[in-house]
Chains A and B, each alone.
Chain A
Amino acid sequence: MQLFSCPFCGSRDETEFVFGAEAGKTRPEPAAEVSADTWGRYLHFADNPRGPTREIWQHVTCGEFFLMERDTVSHAVAATVDLRGDKA
């Protein structure tokens, strides 16, 4: 069982966390000018990197979202950062 570190609650069991999305996606605006292709890309596409990655996760038990830097092959977690920018 892997432990992830919630920036607010500390080390918790991986089952308490849910993956949200890759970090760095911003919603394209204004809606009226966004093409179907751009919108589809925002909704569905992912870099899906093999190795180091930056992702948004939620700690379901406390409800907070945060940034997790981890490796998709080794599963090592480099850092968890709350979305206000402080290191956990």
Chain B
Amino acid sequence: MTRRYSAFSLFREGLRGHTGWQPAWRSPQPKRRYDAIIIGGGGQGLATAYYLAKNHGMTNVAVLEKSWIGGGNTGRNTTTIRSNYFYPESVALYDFALKLYEGLSRELNYNIMLSQRGVVTVSHSDAEMEMAARLVNAMQINGTDAELLDRDGVLEKAPLLNASDEARYPIFGGTWQGRAGVARHDAVAWGYARAADAKGIDIIQNCEVTGFIVEDGRCVGVETSLGPIRSDAVGLAVAGHSGVLAAKAGFALPIRSYSLQAMVSEPVKPCLDTVVLYLGTGTYLFQSDKGEIVVGGGLDRVPSYAQRGNPPMQQHVISGMLEMFPAFGQLRMLRQWAGVVDVVPDSSPIIGPSPVPGLYLNCGWGTGGFKSIPAGGWLMAHLIATGEHHDISRPFDLERFATGRLVDEAAGSGIAH
């Protein structure tokens, strides 16, 4: 029976017809009571469960997923990982995630295919270059890697970019974060699930939370499609559906749900070895390991719970791609999809206690949930296990919407989530 993955186990299983591989996680029936329940079997929820076990020794934990794990935004994002943010609070958060990602394949014994191929964000005017320099300086002061590129530097990173004098969005230069990159999104969910399961955590799929059990004003469990499950600590990690579940618990959140779409082309030969974002078009793209060009852009402008995406944004994103890479006009697009993301007014996540004691929040990641999975999980686990904020999560408490101490990254780094 093979539990641990290695070159040796692959070789051995090859010799015996691959008959010894075990399911990567069990499918247990839920117990009636746990020490902690995590709602949402995406990356954030699974990572929370893993770090509860690893960092805090809590293994009597269940992850409840209404569908299959990693089938929501974890399986729908464009897999980019970066920490090119402006405010110290944000860099502390996203760079913590990036650092954890850097060691994650080894830690989980699961290849998440992290490829630190760098992100280049292109500026199109002298004024934008000033802002780019400001962002690079801030990132360096905040302790993460950043470089300011001139026009030649950008074209060296991505030679197929539109270098024409006629370009609608001319290349003046840009910012570069070399440690940024992409990873296999499914593998992150599956790796955390497998590692959490190995520590005794129950991952329960097809189990929808339909309500909360509240006694004396305190959340003491959840009602589910598989019956009531009790626990003194319940974590909510459901991204775009945070508002729906918050309403069931009797409170509102500063969140609006939007569709965020992405698409991939047919696979082509290697032609782009970095991630490229244009400030002008809002489109970003990279080439997957399979050769597909993966393309994403901004939010649909209509608040929505439809995992579908509207045509105007597709058109906008594709026209952006053609402006950036005229050669990609020959590509045939293969697939298009959307996820429902939880957008907060200041484009920063909400991590902290909810208005209902015993219920904890990890939401509001908007379009940036995938890159922050290890940090979100780590911080949420800390919160659930200790009842207290970790220093990194404290600025992201829900109370900032009353105090006014927002972490406005849409204004800070110009990143629109």
Shortest A19–chain B CB gap in Å is 6
Q: Is the CB of A55 within 8 A of B303?
A: yes
Chain B, 361-415, CB within 8 A of any chain A CB:
401-404
Q: Is the CB of A14 within 8 A of B312?
A: yes
Q: Is the CB of A45 within 8 A of B306?
A: no
Contacts of A46 in B (CB 8 A): 243, 252-256
Q: Is the CB of B302 within 8 A of A36?
A: no
A31 within 8 A of B: no
Q: How large is the interface on A (under 10, 10 to 19, 20 to 34, 35 or more residues)?
A: 20 to 34
* Known contacts A18-B301, A72-B257; is-contact A45 B312 (Cβ 8 Å): no
Contacts of B217 in A (CB 8 A): none
- Chain A interface mostly helix, strand, loop or mixed? mixed
Q: Is the CB of B310 within 8 A of A72?
A: no
Return the contact of A50 from the options B241, B255, B311 (Cβ within 8 A): B241
Contacts of B257 in A (CB 8 A): 48, 50, 72
Shortest B344–chain A CB gap in Å is 8
Q: How many positions in chain B have a CB within 8 Å of any CB in the partner chain?
A: 24
Closest to A4 in B: B302
Instruction: For the complex, give the distance between the alpha carbons of A1 and B309 in Å.
Output: 11
Closest to B403 in A: A36
Q: Is the CB of B303 within 8 A of A44?
A: no
Instruction: For the complex, give the distance between the alpha carbons of A1 and B312 in Å.
Output: 6
A47 within 8 A of B: yes
Closest to A44 in B: B254
Contacts of B243 in A (CB 8 A): 46-50
Q: Is the CB of A75 within 8 A of B404?
A: no
Instruction: For the complex, give the distance between the alpha carbons of A53 and B305 in Å.
Output: 12
Closest to A70 in B: B302
Q: Is the CB of A45 within 8 A of B253?
A: yes
Chain B, 310-334, CB within 8 A of any chain A CB:
310-312
B247 within 8 A of A: yes
B357 within 8 A of A: no
Closest to A35 in B: B402
Contacts of A39 in B (CB 8 A): 402
Shortest A83–chain B CB gap in Å is 19
Q: Is the CB of B402 within 8 A of A36?
A: yes
Instruction: For the complex, give the distance between the alpha carbons of A43 and B402 in Å.
Output: 9
Shortest A45–chain B CB gap in Å is 5
Q: Is the CB of B247 within 8 A of A44?
A: no
Q: Is the CB of B301 within 8 A of A73?
A: no
Return the contact of B301 from the options A19, A43, A49, A50 (Cβ within 8 A): A19
Return the contact of A48 from the options B303, B402, B403, B404 (Cβ within 8 A): B303
Contacts of B60 in A (CB 8 A): none
B228 within 8 A of A: no
Contacts of B241 in A (CB 8 A): 50
Q: Is the CB of A72 within 8 A of B304?
A: yes
Contacts of A47 in B (CB 8 A): 243, 247, 252
Contacts of B304 in A (CB 8 A): 72-73, 75
Shortest A64–chain B CB gap in Å is 18
Contacts of B302 in A (CB 8 A): 2, 14, 19, 75
Q: Is the CB of B253 within 8 A of A40?
A: no
Shortest A14–chain B CB gap in Å is 6
Chain A, 1-54, CB within 8 A of any chain B CB:
1-2, 13-15, 18-19, 36-37, 39-41, 43-51, 53
Chosen A-B contacts, 13 in total, with CB atoms closer than 8 Å, are A2-B310, A15-B301, A19-B301, A19-B302, A43-B401, A46-B243, A46-B255, A46-B256, A48-B303, A49-B247, A50-B241, A50-B243, A72-B304
Closest 7 CB pairs of A and B: A48-B243, A44-B254, A40-B402, A40-B401, A37-B402, A50-B305, A45-B252
Having A48-B257, A50-B241, one finds 18 other A-B pairs with CB under 8 Å, namely A1-B310, A13-B312, A14-B312, A15-B301, A18-B301, A19-B301, A37-B402, A41-B252, A46-B253, A47-B243, A47-B247, A47-B252, A48-B243, A48-B253, A72-B257, A72-B303, A73-B304, A75-B304
